[in-house]
Amino acid sequence: MSCIRKPGEPGRYQPIMQHLCGFDGGDNGNPICGKPAEHHHYAGSPETGPSDYTMFSCAEHFTQCRTHSWDYHDIAAVCDVPGTTWISARVQGEGFCVWPEAEAVMSEQTSMNLVSQ
């Protein structure tokens, strides 16, 4: 995480656990969208299988991101938290992220802000 790309700056997209739309029009030289994300995508396609990274999209860019997705779901607090596992359903769009430690942490600290950790 040495090179964090902020919204509005060009460069390779870096997942930064801020749940911001990473859409850049398909060109790494463009600035990313940076709006609050509503969907979490696993890159790839149903035909070729999952790629090796996930991405976030806002409502406006959901359709474009979906065409490059193996799977996707509505965003949740645990999305992109290190240690999270992506669980895919049989149907594309019905998977979800699971953070095995979440329940233990939540019970100790119910007001924890997952995004800022």
Q: What is the DSSP string of 37-60?
A: P-EEEEEEETTTEEEEEEEEE-TT
**At its nearest, how many Å lie between Zn ion and the CB of residue 21?**
3
Beta bridge partners of 5: none
Site residue total, Zn ion (CB under 5 A): 9
Contact 34, 21 (CB under 8 A): yes
Residue 61 in the binding site for Zn ion (CB under 5 A): yes
Residue 21 in the binding site for Zn ion (CB under 5 A): yes
Out of 5, 19, 33, 56, the only residue in the binding site for Zn ion (CB under 5 A) is: 33
Total Cβ atoms within 10 A of residue 62: 18
Residue 102 in the binding site for Zn ion (CB under 5 A): no
Report residue 110 as tokens: 């119910």
Residue 37 in the binding site for Zn ion (CB under 5 A): no
Contact 100, 83 (CB under 8 A): yes
Residue 58 or 102 with smaller CB distance to Zn ion = 58
Residue 39 in the binding site for Zn ion (CB under 5 A): no
Residue 25 or 46 with smaller CB distance to Zn ion = 25
